[in-house]
Amino acid sequence: MSISEKTSLAQEPALVVDDVVKRFGRGTEIVTAVDHVSFTVRQGEFVSVIGPSGCGKSTLFNIIGGLLSDYEGAVKIGEERISAPHPAVGMVFQEESTFPWRTVIDNVAFPLELQGVAKSERMDRAHHFIDMVGLASFEKAFPSQLSGGMKQRVSIARILVSQPKILLMDEPFAALDEQTRLLLGDKITQIQQELNQTTLLITHNLTEAVQLSDRIVVMTYRPGQVKRIVDINLPRPRTSDVVGSDAFGHYVAEIWNDLREEASRGMADSESAASRRATHG
Amino acid sequence: MAEAFLRRHTPELFGLATLLVCVLGFEALIRGGVVNRYIIPPPSDILLAFERVIVEENILARCRDTAFEMLVAGGASVLVGVPIGVLLYRSALWRRAMEDWIGALAAAPIVLAFPLFLVLFGRSPKTIIVMGFVHGLAPIILKTVEGLASTRPVLINVGRSLKMTQSQMFWKILLPSAMPIIFTGIRLSWTFVLITIVGIEYLINLGGVGQLINELAERYDLPGTYAGICFVILVSVLFFLALERVESWLQPGR
Ligand SMILES: Nc1ncnc2c1ncn2[C@@H]1O[C@H](COP(=O)(O)OP(=O)(O)OP(=O)(O)O)[C@@H](O)[C@H]1O
Ligand SMILES: [Mg+2]
């Protein structure tokens, strides 16, 4: 592929989120979880959506993944408006989602099994991606024998093996400690660069977002709107070493400025809800 | 090596030791005259009766008959109960309509309805098998519904995002996820089935170990009666060991 071809491909949005609105409930109990959100993800780009807890990130994730079909606006892949799961999208969920009754390799080979890929080939391909996430020596283990971080890596390998055009991840590292998170982040960056994988990452972790992303969509707390979209001009290939750089610190400080307001609104909200609950017994 | 064996089998050995202590305790109480030996014979007498019931009463063949009835009734309640459970899970209306009735069925003392079954199926192993089957059905149905309904939503979402068909979803996600709870149902069910089968054999004086226990009791052969009961336990242990095998084969990693 020539450089000009690559840049022209890179201009073309792989995913368009256009004025999406999602409300839950009815009458006076209506919660607007996602409020007129728009952004695009280009081919091969790594975009993060960051926002405080409860701002509608998972809701957005489910809409883009086609699991919530009842929404306003449009999520588009090519010309198609998403209202059901799209074969080009692979999802990694916030909650632990490995199959406890399958070994690591059978978990990872699962999507290939569904496609009817022959056993030896699917084992080879599963093996490749298990290697990529660094679990080669655990292929025959069951999820119950793995740590939380290892299980998330299994879920990631399981999606990568089906080679989705767009990888969608909802706080895949939320349950992990900071060190594991940084190292897994390295893995993700490496994989993303190796496969030129178009990725949308949902997160509430600032360093993670800056470490991994080309762009960051900052959300407001309730209703979940786009507050700002920040370009991250850190050099690629990137590793977690970038965390120590001045530029990194600069981005983190800048985005934290935006987020602080939202996060404290979120806190105040939940505190008042708690005291309301307390006074109502 | 002996030490390693000891450490690995500590729970089993502890269980056996507890049993032994109880048996010796009874022996002492009975020999000491605290417990009437015409109600509970001393364990040593029961042990001696084993040879007699095996050689003279041919109890092993009777165990085989009981085991056969158990296999048919227990197997049928799995083969029928699981699909009914699946249907109830699929249809919310059916489920709401039926669940309480099935719960009632599980709790009902079906053994007492034996005259009805005698009329329907005659004094034959068929009656015994059908009654065992009916009694074993409810727990499997209920636990199948419960197991399927407790599948974690995120696993279902994984399936949806992979665009799985309904049947793929059932065979590859719902059923394996429900399996441990379904097996709990099978264990409950088989307990009911065995109680019913031996009970009915005893009541209608037909066939396997139950009938023999009845005969021995009527002859006031108490050690023999208790030895017969030990064989019922043996049959039960065999079934539960087999079930455990099947479960760990179907459910690796749990
Ligand atoms: N199925 C639903 N029914 C009603 N309200 C919902 C539903 N799902 C989400 N909400 C509401 O929508 C809002 C956004 O929820 P969402 O799960 O998208 O937040 P989030 O940003 O992913 O939070 P977190 O970071 O804690 O995962 C919340 O106020 C939540 O109560
Ligand atoms: Mg969420």
Q: Residue of the nearest CA to atom 7 in ligand 1?
A: A24
Cβ–Cβ below 8 Å for A91 and B252: no
Q: Distance of alpha carbon A8 from its chain centroid, rounded?
A: 25
CATH 1.10.1740.10 fits B50-250, yes or no: no
Q: How close is the nearest chain A Cα to the Cα of B163, in Å?
A: 7
Nearest by CB to B161, which of A65, A96, A113? A65
Do the beta carbons of residue A215 and residue A221 sit within 8 Å? no
- Rounded to two decimals, the pTM is 0.84
The residues spanned by each domain of chain A are 14-88+164-247, 93-163
Strands across the sheet containing A226-231: A89-92, A166-170, A198-203, A46-50, A215-219, A226-231
pLDDT tens digits, one per residue of A80-138? 898 899 999 999 998 999 999 999 999 999 999 999 999 999 999 999 999 888 889 99
Q: Distance of alpha carbon A117 from its chain centroid, rounded?
A: 27
Q: Measured between beta carbons, which residues in chain A are less than 8 angstroms from residue B161? A: 65-67, 85, 89-91
3-class DSSP state for residue B179?
A: helix
Cβ–Cβ below 8 Å for A85 and B161: yes
pLDDT tens digits, one per residue of A43-58? 889 999 998 888 889 9
Going by pLDDT thresholds of 50, 70 and 90, the confidence category of residue A269 is: confident
A204 pocket-lining for ligand 1 (C-beta < 6 Å): yes
Q: Which of A53, A59, A60, A270 to mutate to test the pocket of ligand 1 (most atoms within 8 A of CB)?
A: A59
Minimum Cα–Cα distance from B154: chain A residue: A97
pLDDT tens for each residue of chain B, 254 residues long: 678 888 888 888 899 999 999 999 988 998 888 888 888 888 888 888 888 888 888 888 888 999 999 999 999 999 999 999 999 999 888 888 888 888 888 888 888 888 888 888 888 889 999 999 999 999 999 999 999 999 999 999 999 999 999 999 999 999 999 999 999 999 999 999 999 999 999 988 888 889 889 888 888 888 889 999 998 898 899 999 999 898 888 877 66
Q: Mean per-residue pLDDT for A166-173? A: 90
A107 pocket-lining for ligand 1 (C-beta < 6 Å): no
Q: How close is the nearest chain B Cα to the Cα of A224, in Å?
A: 23
φ, ψ at A23 (rounded to 5°): -115, 145
Do the beta carbons of residue A135 and residue A160 sit within 8 Å? no
Going by pLDDT thresholds of 50, 70 and 90, the confidence category of residue A2 is: very low
Q: Would you state the pLDDT for residue B102?
A: 86
pLDDT tens digits, one per residue of A184-208? 788 888 888 888 889 999 998 888 8
Which CATH superfamily is A14-88+164-247 part of? P-loop containing nucleotide triphosphate hydrolases (3.40.50.300)
3-class DSSP state for residue A212?
A: helix
Give distance in angstroms: CA of A54 to centre of ligand 1. Answer: 5
